[in-house]
A and B are shown apart, each in its own frame.
Chain A
Amino acid sequence: MEPTASRRRAGAAVTRRVRLLRPVAALAFAALAIAPQAFAEDASAWLARTAAAARDLNYVGTIVYQHGAQVETSRLVHRNDGGTEMEKLVNLDGPAREVIRTGDEVRCFYPEAKIMRVEPRAFRNAFPSLSATEQKALTDNYDFRKAETGRVAGLDAQAWTFEPKDSFRFGRKFWVDTGTGLLLKARVSNERGEVVEQFSFTDLTIDAKISQQMVRPTWTGTSADWRMLKSPLAYIDRQDTGWVVGRVPPGFSKVIEGYRPLRERRDRVVHLVYSDGLVAVSVFIEQIGPAPRRLLGPSQQGGINVFVRTFEDRIVTVLGEVPGTTVRQMAMSIARR
């Protein structure tokens, strides 16, 4: 099924839909005490609404991204013209970088290096399409709660929390615009309550008039002195790979397994994805080759943890928006079925 079709159907009338959904959400809350299932649907319904707002609205603003001791500021312009989505992200400090995202492609421009990277995009447009298993995992693994109201980027915001029930996952807090449901701020914190990563708008105009010009790339990237790097079409060819994670952390279950192309590799790479309903962990297994050397062991970038190891003649890379313990346990327990 063509994903853009459903997006087009979703159309631009998100505000109206959010308003219609509000009583539904209220009802779901009321039903909580008697029907736990309503709770599950509410968490996933919330995710679906928030995803729809990010996709359907027109907005322009400044995003601050904090991870560890680093702070990066970017300008974001998002346009949805009758179902056709286009987005432009430009960093405001450091060497210039630009990301242009359209329905089926992501282009990254690195003007100093004169490189344009083209990544075909195969987002499954996950919402509203969490499977029943994922919906159940969501309630089994997190306490989803409505938190305080406040202001973010000068807008009235409602906070929501996903409190993890164990230390295999991070806690998450989201602030959304009370009028439109658009995500204004997202925070990831560890079990000690320390902030691991945070995205936040510092100024934002929703329902802005966004012209085609505003989302156009600054560079064409096709002139003779630029290099274009294009990734193969990204999809997972679903099949049994014979690989298994021996000790899957509680609450995670496998959502997809198969082979995929990964840039610059001749052989296809094994890709397994495990999800707890809110976040995912990917396991990549590939033949050790002459091509770029990889650092072994744990590493981290903001809310993403990675663990790389060798197993027989393979390199195993496990990464996800989870604590280091989770990726480590999965990497260390990899086995052939």
Chain B
Amino acid sequence: MGEEISRLMDGEQDDAQADITCARLKDPDGMATWVCYHVIGDAMRGTGELTPGFSRRFAARLAAEPTVLAPRAQPARPLAYAWAAAAGVAAVALVGWVAFGTLQTEPAAMAKAGEAAAIRSPQVAARTIPADYLLAHQEYSPTTPIQGVGPYLRSVAVPAGDARQ
């Protein structure tokens, strides 16, 4: 289900598949997943800043809509869940960042946090990329030579996990 919704959002489904997935969005769990992925995407892109009380106003307006497919009112729960997930991702990003400086962070704790993020955010996690993969890749990218050391700005921001090994 999550996979299909994700593919729909990425524009990877053809019309027939998209119809099926859209039909599933009518299910509350499907809708929660849909909202969750979008909020995470927004948060990652930094475009998801909502004004205070947004959830309450949104829920009120949604409740006021003449909805046929609303067996039970579920005020704001999907959003609350989504924010929790987004916060989880942000925490992992922060852990990754902090860990670089100290290298003292418990690896198990990081792995655990990472697990949580992987489960909660199948859309896109803003996390650092292993530097050795990045360096190996950059050798073969045609844009690397024109940017000189530029690409290293990416890899040097990264080495937390790698440096520990």
Q: Point out residues on A near B: beta carbons under 8 Å.
A: 47, 50-51, 54-55, 63, 65, 67-69, 72, 74, 76, 78, 87, 89, 91, 94-95, 97, 99, 101, 106, 108, 110, 112-113, 115, 117, 119, 121-127, 130, 134, 167, 172, 174, 183, 186, 194, 199, 229, 231, 234, 255-256, 260, 262-264, 271, 273, 275, 277-280, 282, 284, 291-293, 295-302, 304, 306, 317, 319-321, 324-325, 328-329
Q: Taking CB as reference atom, which chain A residue is nearest B98?
A: A95
Q: Find A320's partner among B111, B117, B137, B149 (CB 8 Å cutoff).
A: B137
Do B133 and A284 touch (CB < 8 A)?
A: yes
Cβ of B147 and Cβ of A47 under 8 Å apart? no
Task: Select from chain B the residue with minimum beta-carbon distance to A196.
Answer: B45
**Which residues from A are CB-within-8-Å of B11?**
167, 325
Residue among A72, A199, A256, A328 facing the most chain B CB atoms (10 A cut-off): A199
Instruction: Write out the residue numbers on chain A whose beta carbons fall within 8 Å of the beta carbon of B152.
Output: 89, 99, 101, 106, 108
State the CA gap A279–B138 with chains docked (Å). Answer: 10
Known: A89-B152, A113-B163, A320-B137. 12 other contacts (CB 8 A): A51-B145, A68-B44, A69-B46, A174-B146, A183-B146, A234-B139, A255-B140, A279-B141, A282-B140, A298-B125, A301-B127, A319-B129
Does the CB pair B129–A51 fall under 8 Å?
Answer: no
Interface centre among A67, A91, A117 (most CB of B within 10 A): A117
Q: Which residue of B lies closest to A232 (CB)?
A: B132
28 CB-based A-B contacts, threshold 8 Å: A55-B148, A65-B150, A89-B152, A112-B101, A112-B103, A113-B163, A117-B159, A117-B162, A119-B135, A199-B153, A255-B140, A262-B133, A271-B136, A273-B137, A278-B143, A279-B141, A280-B137, A280-B141, A280-B142, A284-B133, A291-B165, A295-B125, A295-B127, A298-B124, A299-B127, A301-B157, A319-B137, A325-B11
Chain A residue contacts of B129, Cβ below 8 A: 299, 301, 304, 306, 319
Residue-wise, chain B 94-121 has the 8 Å CB interface mask toward A (1 for contact) of: 0000001111000000010011011001
Q: Find chain A residues with CB under 8 A from B55 CB.
A: none
Q: Which of B22-72 contact A (CB under 8 A)?
A: 44-46
Report yes or no: A263 in contact with B165, Cβ–Cβ below 8 A. yes
B126: interface (CB < 8 Å): yes
In the complex, the answer to whether B126 meets A319 with C-beta atoms within 8 Å is: no
Task: Judge whether A325 and B10 touch: CB under 8 Å.
Answer: yes
Asked whether B111 lies within 8 Å of A293 as measured between CB atoms, the reply is yes
8 Å CB contact of B150 from A63, A127, A301: A63
- Cα of A296 to Cα of B128 in the assembled complex, Å: 13
Quick check: B125 and A89 within 8 Å, CB to CB?
A: no
Q: Which residues of B contact A284 (CB under 8 A)?
A: 133, 136
Please tell me if the beta carbons of B102 and A112 are within 8 angstroms of each other in the complex: yes
Q: Which 5 A-B pairs have the closest CB atoms?
A: A51-B145, A282-B137, A54-B148, A95-B101, A280-B141
